[in-house]
């Protein structure tokens, strides 16, 4: 199978590429390096520096390489930023995704995996959150992923393209060679580890008056390798199966205080923490039900334990204290 991976130089994309190559697949990475790092691209993948905003660039890549399937990670991904700069999300993410889909159907690509998000479920009626939960995008970011999901519905109806939307919760952890390096970093686990590395003085907990056991937000932290494997399983399932949507998480919730405490244990660093104001848009609790993908594809997390997830991230951050920048 030949897979074109947009955003294959980014955190989730690069580790999925690593796992695809390990599984013997042929990979073409298409990335504009806006957040991604060329060093993160697996050396056995073909790398194209290109921008989805430019239809001709993505069409040429698909025409030349003729992938069997596409995994689409490339997008703007920050909830907070999406509220401040909605058009980056409501326009750019949507137009870039449409360019990709238009070129894909033009060249007969029949399988597509979308990197979607738990931000579709801002007001869940049931916890853990299953696939039939009502969709309430929590931000322009979530809305932009929902727009992609709707595009895919029509690609399937009209062009017979089979797709899987993977709505993931909090991606974290690292492989031996690849990890999380965003600029600026906004995610909890890498920030906590930057405190342990001495790169920051403290972690600020965004609010401790939530309706949760210790007052801090509860999230479902899923290991990046488990996420990557789910993409590969889903792509294979589309060879002879219908389109589908899966929620992907550990099925377990950990509070911000749990994460900090576990990181203290793993790193041996005191990791000073202070409580600050709430971050706009954070729901109290988000936990996924991954029963559907478990039943359909036999997927289950290999690394469900928070301590192991943080240990693997910590190993990568210690080896790469400045991330991918040399």
With b for 16 or more beta-carbon neighbours within 10 A and e for fewer, the 54-74 pattern comes to ebebbbebbeebebbbbbbbb
Q: Is 191 in the site for ligand UDP (CB under 6 A)?
A: yes
Count other C-beta atoms under 10 Å from residue 152's C-beta.
24
| Minimal CB distance residue for ligand UDP | 217
For 127-133, the CB contacts below 8 A with 24+ separation are: 127/285, 127/287, 128/220, 128/249, 128/251, 128/287, 128/288, 128/289, 129/247, 129/286, 129/287, 129/288, 129/289, 130/247, 130/289, 130/291, 130/292, 131/167, 131/245, 131/246, 131/247, 131/292
Question: Is residue 282 a contact point for ligand UDP (CB under 6 A)?
Answer: yes
Would you count residue 206 as binding ligand UDP (CB under 6 A)? yes
Q: Cβ(166)–Cβ(235) under 8 Å?
A: no
**Near ligand UDP by CB under 6 A: residue from 42, 110, 145, 219:** 219
CB of 121 to ligand UDP, least distance (A): 12
Active site (annotated) includes residue 141: yes
Residue of the chain from 27, 62, 217, 238 that contacts ligand UDP (CB under 6 A): 217
Tell me: does residue 157 bind ligand UDP (CB under 6 A).
no
Per CB under 6 A, 279 contacts ligand UDP: yes
Stretch that binds ligand UDP, among 16-24, 26-34, 150-158, 181-189 (CB under 6 A): 181-189
Q: Which residue in 11, 141, 146, 210 is the catalytic one?
A: 141
Do β-strands 218-219 and 254-255 pair in parallel, antiparallel, or remain unpaired? antiparallel
Stretch in the footprint of ligand UDP (CB under 6 A) among 128-136, 157-165, 187-195, 306-314: 187-195
So which residues are the catalytic ones? 141
Q: Which residues bind ligand UDP (CB under 6 A)?
A: 79, 170, 186-188, 191, 203-206, 217, 219, 256, 279, 282
């Amino acid at each position: 199978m030949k897979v074109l991976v947009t955003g294959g130089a980014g955190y989730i994309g690069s580790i999925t590429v690593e796992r695809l190559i390990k599984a013997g697949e042929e990979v073409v990475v298409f990335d504009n390096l806006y957040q991604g790092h060329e060093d993160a691209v697996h050396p056995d993948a073909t790398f194209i520096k290109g921008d989805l905003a430019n239809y001709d660039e993505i069409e040429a890549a698909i025409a030349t390489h003729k992938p069997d399937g596409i995994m689409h990670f490339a997008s703007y991904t920050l909830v907070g930023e999406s509220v401040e700069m909605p058009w980056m999300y409501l326009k750019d993410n949507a137009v870039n995704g449409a360019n990709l889909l238009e070129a894909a159907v033009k060249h007969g690509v029949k399988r597509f995996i979308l990197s979607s998000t738990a931000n579709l479920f801002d007001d869940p009626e049931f916890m853990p959150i299953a696939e039939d939960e009502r969709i309430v995008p929590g931000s322009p970011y979530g809305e932009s992923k929902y727009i992609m999901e709707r595009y895919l519905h029509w690609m399937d109806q009209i062009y017979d393209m089979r797709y899987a939307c993977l709505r993931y919760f909090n991606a974290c952890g690292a492989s031996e060679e690849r990890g999380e390096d965003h600029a600026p970093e906004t995610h909890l686990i890498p920030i906590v580890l930057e405190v342990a590395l001495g790169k920051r003085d403290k972690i600020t907990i965004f609010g401790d008056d939530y309706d949760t056991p210790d007052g801090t937000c509860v999230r479902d932290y899923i290991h990046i390798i488990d996420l990557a494997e789910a993409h590969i399983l889903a792509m294979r399932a589309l060879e002879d199966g219908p389109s589908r949507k899966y929620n992907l998480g550990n099925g377990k919730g950990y509070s911000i205080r749990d994460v900090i405490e576990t990181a203290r244990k793993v790193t041996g660093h005191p990791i000073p923490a202070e409580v600050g104001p709430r971050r706009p848009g954070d729901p109290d609790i988000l936990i996924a039900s991954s029963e559907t993908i478990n039943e359909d594809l036999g997927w289950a997390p290999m690394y469900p334990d928070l301590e192991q997830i943080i240990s693997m991230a910590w190993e990568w951050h210690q080896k790469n204290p400045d991330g991918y920048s040399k």
